[in-house]
């Protein structure tokens, strides 16, 4: 799968798009395929570096927190298994007024599509699954 590009922003597609499919190590959205994890935000979808839940930290979630006011809920897809986020990271997001729901990647992608269609201020951080 090719990584989406737009101008000088490698791996970023501006706009709101549903996640069409997931699996085989990536995602389809906006008539494109992307191999690897993604971060879907109200302003666009971008490549996201974590390959496992263990790699999720403040740095990987900084874009979500910096969108304060733009994101009210983060759906975190942790792969095939549900992996709770450490209390420190949950509190860090809560301080910014961002709710968190952790679930399997497939469930997070489906929930994101529903909430995005309702024009909610939702983001989804999705770990790619095989």
- Asked, for residue 17, whether it belongs to a domain, the answer is yes
pLDDT score for 10? 55
Predicted confidence band of residue 67 (pLDDT cuts 50, 70, 90) = confident
- Asked, for residue 6, whether it belongs to a domain, the answer is no
| Number of structural domains the chain divides into | 1
pLDDT score for 68? 60
Looking at residue 79, which CATH number applies to its domain? 3.40.1230.10
- Asked, for residue 2, whether it belongs to a domain, the answer is no
Mean pLDDT value of segment 106-129: 97
Task: Give the Cα separation of 39 and 47 in Å (integer).
Answer: 6
- Asked, for residue 107, whether it belongs to a domain, the answer is yes
The boundaries of the domain holding residue 92 are: 12-126
Share of the chain above pLDDT 90, in %: 88
- Asked, for residue 5, whether it belongs to a domain, the answer is no
pLDDT score for 4? 37
Mean pLDDT value of segment 66-93: 94
- Asked, for residue 7, whether it belongs to a domain, the answer is no
Q: What's this model's pTM, rounded to 2 decimal places? A: 0.90
- Asked, for residue 37, whether it belongs to a domain, the answer is yes
pLDDT score for 5? 34
pLDDT score for 33? 93
- Is the pLDDT at 7 greater than 70? The verdict is no
- Asked, for residue 3, whether it belongs to a domain, the answer is no
- Is the pLDDT at 9 greater than 50? The verdict is no
Distance, first Cα to last Cα, the chain = 13
pLDDT score for 12? 84
CB distance 120 to 73 below 8 Å: yes
């Amino acid at each position: 799968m090719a990584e989406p590009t737009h101008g000088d922003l490698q791996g970023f597609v501006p706009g709101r798009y549903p996640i069409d499919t997931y699996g085989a190590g990536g995602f389809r959205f906006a008539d494109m395929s992307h191999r690897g994890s993604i971060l879907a935000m109200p302003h666009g979808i971008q490549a996201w570096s974590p390959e496992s839940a263990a790699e999720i930290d403040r740095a990987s979630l900084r874009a979500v927190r910096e969108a304060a006011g733009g994101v009210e809920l983060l759906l975190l897809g942790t792969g095939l298994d549900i992996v709770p986020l450490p209390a420190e990271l949950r509190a860090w997001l809560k301080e910014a007024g961002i709710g968190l729901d952790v679930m399997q990647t497939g469930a997070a992608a489906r929930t994101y599509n529903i909430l995005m269609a309702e024009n909610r201020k939702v983001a989804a951080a999705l770990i790619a699954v095989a």
